[in-house]
Chain A
Amino acid sequence: MTNRWLHPGAWWLWALGLGAAATRTANPLLLGLIVAVAALVVSSRRPQAQWAGAFAVFVRIAVLVVVIRVGFTVLFGLRVGTTDLFTLPSATLPDWMAGVTLGGAVTAEMLAIAVIQGSQLATLLICVGAANSLASPVRLLKALPPGLYHVGVAGVVALSLAPRIMVNVRRVMQARRMRGRPTRGLRAAAESSVPVLESSLDDAINLAAAMDTRGYGRATRTSPGERALQAGLVLAGLMGIALGLFAVLGASGWGWLLLALGLAMAITGILVAGRRIVRTRYRPDPWGWPETLTAATGISAAIAVIAVSSSTITIPLTWPALPPVAVAAILAAALPAALTPPPPVPWRTA
């Protein structure tokens, strides 16, 4: 297979499918399998680019999430189950602080629930991290429909400025040390924030000027009324989608209706906006069978897991079963590791 970029939308559908599966199962074996599949695909299809390091960052955040969740359970958790592991000295806070009990007995059930619930969120984070390091954020923003063009550009600017701000911070801190001033502590942060912000602002202004001279925003002459209509539609639609997703993940019935309504409004808004924009795209990423395969494996993993597995944790604890349908669907999501074209290797590091 010749090297090419896979459509960023395909990676995102794949990752969100796996992520959705993770939020709907309390089976630690399936969660572990999802993480393994994500890691395998990332390790075999990650391009050589700065943003491809996102996976490691997300994994670290995910671990932190589990640790915090367990920590909170140990400190504040209500006693669940009967298998006592150890007992912490306990203290009950006074009534005006809601009378919460700190410490106390910690049971295996409590820990198991904390780890599983923490892992659900952690797995979702890892899936998002996988998408972030497989699909170039800039390419994703470029693939947005023209109606979301302005959002996309704002995203591009933010994405390209974030690393520059980091570079500015490092440079200014270096200069501070060379001026013989402390580089740690509040005072150092306050004093160095001025040159950092000033140079970052300069960067932003330079970028804005460059984009202006390169025709950005030229083809979007719309009347204020029209713009308000599109903005209203898109905004209301996005809120509908967000609320709908929240409800669907919480498994209540009206969520689907809200989701559909929100999607319809957002799409109408985007189409209305898109009609006005005369903007073309240079070599858009094609959507071929590897894209279809990638997206399909992610989505079918979500469907299979939601159909077979349950997100409730049963007490007393039992060793989780391995539903073959879900296992097969999740394993299938590892296929893109071998069946998609590898990303271009654009340059060799000396």
Chain B
Amino acid sequence: MIRFADVTFTHAQSGRPVVSNVDLTIPEGDLALVIGRTGSGKSTLLNMVNGLVPHFTGGTLRGEVRVNGMDTRTNAPRDLAGIVGTVGQNPRAGFTTDTVEEELAYTMESLGFAPDTMRRRVEETLDLLGLAPLRHRPLDTLSGGEQQRVAIGAALTAGPAVLVLDEPTSALDPAGAEEVLAAIARLVHDLAITVLMAEHRLERVVEFADHVIRIEDGHCELLDPAAAMVGHGLQPPVVRLGQAMGWEPVPLSVRSARRQAVQLRTATFEAPARRTGHDGVATVANTTVTYGHTGALRAVDVQLRSGQITALMGRNGAGKSTLINVLAGTRAPDRGRVRVHEDDPTTLRGQALLRRIAYVPQDPSDLFYTDSVRGECDATDRDTGQEPGSALARLRQLVDTVDPDNHPRDLSAGQQLALALAIQLASAPDIVLLDEPTRGLDYPGKVAFGSWLNRLAEAGCSILVATHDVELVAVIGDRVIVLADGEVVTDADVRTALTSSPAFAPQVQKVLAPLPVLTVEEACSL
């Protein structure tokens, strides 16, 4: 269905090819998962299939890519639109209409389908993806998972043979991600659509894959999923557990791992204690925030303690970002009291703010306004009156591979995060607020990020991380706060919180339940 023949692609202003000599064939009706480190060329490989590379991005493509027999050199993305459906990382960025139904019909309108065919296809797609109750809803009122399903539906209505998905679940909460993945699995099984999908969070998807395409240093290999999981750093926890325990074959799903763990589950486990923190540094008392008619926070009571990492979890739209904004002082509560030490965060400005609160937004590049890493670091040193070079030195402690003359936007997701932390931690703040920091980070990136936060917590910082990533929370978290519909439903230590609900259980916990084991490292001590 998809055939790459000796394909090499080079960006316009770069001498080094992104991928070179790719030879792959993906058979019809299979799901191929593309894995690789951040910035390894996964998106490039995907966009070669829908023709955006090279028609939209520019650059030089050598070799031949054929999709359903069509050569992407002579067919532009719009000509391939009937054969390849594409769903990007951020579905909202690609929406062109107002409502669900119209969005589903858009591709068919562009391709000139007959009106009665359009009506039928839209109805079929609404049923297939469970979108019928949402058909008249404006797109901006949908949750993240719903938006992603609409984007998939919109790519499907024109009846493509191939579906290209670039990290379809990276922005979604665990339930939303499962909803989307279940929909994709059904498409592969029922409609025999060929799916090419890139994903960092392998724990969610590897069990669905027929093949894994691994990209490393510009080389692509098509591998069997089990074989692809061995011998590199990109392994989901269940695979690492299997390898640590020496299980054969290495399990790819929780289900097969549980079968191999029967013996292990009978062991006794002394749960090591996580940090309980010291004194309270920030208080959110009886706080209510409303946006229009919807309550974003309802009478929330939370206290943050120093020397502790608190994970803030909950569905998309549950109020996580609002709680962070209230603590950062960018949103005044409608009712209630918010204090960081003795200060009302909405009144803090400039240096006083930086000494109390460090904030890293979802997209760290929002913080950057100069054209080089060095420029950002120098500006921070000037603002905080520190010796020139201190911010750069802090950055070097986090990552030593950043070229200070690079443009901040050209850094990888992990490097941007490191730069944002190096800047924001200049005045040794009491609390650190991070909103979805690990989007776009691969496993090694997350390990590095976890160790930075650990160091900060040991130094007495209070850290609040809003995240969907239960595996990250299992490793670094001390305490978990779960919000639902603007209310705190759980505020407990990480072990209690993650073992009490299957939706928030990390893979290792699912394998070893009822033992309260959260991570591979803990499992190794059994």
Contact = CB atoms under 8 A, between A and B. Distances in A.
Nearest to B118: A282
Interface stretch (B32-40, B81-89, B259-267): B81-89
Contacts of B80: 213
Q: Most A CB atoms within 10 A — which of B88, B90, B96, B136?
A: B96
Q: Most B CB atoms within 10 A — which of A160, A179, A199, A215?
A: A179
A178 B383 CA distance: 13
A217 B353 contact: no
A219 B357 contact: no
B136 A178 contact: no
Nearest to A210: B94
A219 B99 CA distance: 24
A177 B325 CA distance: 12
A203 B93 contact: yes
Given A178-B359, A180-B350, A209 B112 contact: no
Contacts of A207: 93-94, 96
A331 B383 CA distance: 63
A182 B396 CA distance: 28
A347 B99 CA distance: 11
Contacts of B111: 215, 218-219
Nearest to A179: B367
Interface string B290-303: 00111100000000
A81 to B, nearest CB: 49
B90 A191 contact: no
Interface string A48-73: 01100000000000000000000000
Contacts of B90: 206
Given A195-B368, A282-B109, A212 B56 contact: yes
Nearest to B122: A282
A162 interface: no
Contact of B107 (A203, A215, A283): A215
Interface string B46-76: 0000111001100000000000000000001
Given A174-B361, A214-B81, A346-B137, A138 B112 contact: no
B132 to A, nearest CB: 14
Nearest to A178: B359
B296 to A, nearest CB: 11
Contacts of B86: 210, 213-214
Contacts of B383: 179-181
Q: Chain A: interface secondary structure?
A: helix
B521 interface: no
A200 to B, nearest CB: 11
Q: Most B CB atoms within 10 A — which of A49, A181, A219, A350?
A: A181
Interface in B290-346: 292-295, 325, 328, 330
B349 A180 contact: yes
A269 to B, nearest CB: 21
B52 A219 contact: no
Interface string A133-145: 0001011000000
A206 B295 CA distance: 32
A182 B363 CA distance: 20
A278 B294 contact: no
Contacts of B105: 282-283
Contacts of B108: 280, 282
Interface string A240-266: 000000000000000000000000000
A226 interface: no
Contact of B96 (A176, A203, A214): A214
B138 A347 contact: yes
A320 to B, nearest CB: 42
A307 interface: no
Interface string B7-22: 0000000000000000
Given A195-B365, A282-B122, A346-B99, A216 B137 contact: no
B330 A219 contact: no
B433 to A, nearest CB: 9
A176 to B, nearest CB: 8
Given A50-B140, A198-B409, A175 B107 contact: no
A112 interface: no
Contact of A180 (B141, B294, B353): B353
Interface string B346-388: 0001110110011101010111110000000000000110000
Interface in A152-180: 156-157, 160, 171-172, 174-180
A174 to B, nearest CB: 5
Interface string A321-350: 000000000000000000000001011011
Interface string A4-39: 000000000000000000000000000000000000
Q: Most A CB atoms within 10 A — which of B55, B94, B95, B155?
A: B94
A194 B81 contact: no
Given A210-B86, A215-B107, A350-B294, A160 B361 contact: no
A172 B119 contact: no
Interface in A185-237: 191-192, 194-195, 198-199, 203, 206-219
Q: Most B CB atoms within 10 A — which of A156, A178, A216?
A: A178
A178 B118 contact: no
A347 B330 CA distance: 29
A159 to B, nearest CB: 10
A346 B361 contact: no
A178 B94 contact: no
A138 B98 contact: yes
A174 B330 contact: yes
B114 A280 contact: yes
Contacts of B51: 213
Contact of A209 (B56, B122, B325, B367): B56
B318 to A, nearest CB: 12
Contacts of B101: 282-283
A156 B93 CA distance: 13
A194 B111 CA distance: 37
A198 B358 CA distance: 24
B109 A281 contact: yes
Contacts of B122: 282
Q: Most B CB atoms within 10 A — which of A195, A203, A280?
A: A280
Contacts of A206: 88, 90, 93-94
Given A215-B81, A350-B294, A178 B98 contact: no
Contacts of A180: 349-351, 353-354, 383-384
Contacts of A278: 112
A279 interface: yes
Contacts of B102: 282
Contact of A199 (B84, B350, B359, B363): B363
A226 B350 CA distance: 60
Contacts of B463: none
B155 to A, nearest CB: 8
Nearest to A193: B369
Contacts of A212: 52, 55-56, 76-78
Given A209-B94, A210-B88, A214-B78, 6 more contacts: A174-B325, A175-B359, A177-B353, A178-B358, A215-B158, A282-B108
Top 4 closest pairs, chain A to chain B, by CB = A210-B94, A215-B81, A282-B105, A215-B110
7 contacts: A180-B349, A212-B56, A215-B107, A279-B112, A280-B108, A280-B109, A280-B118
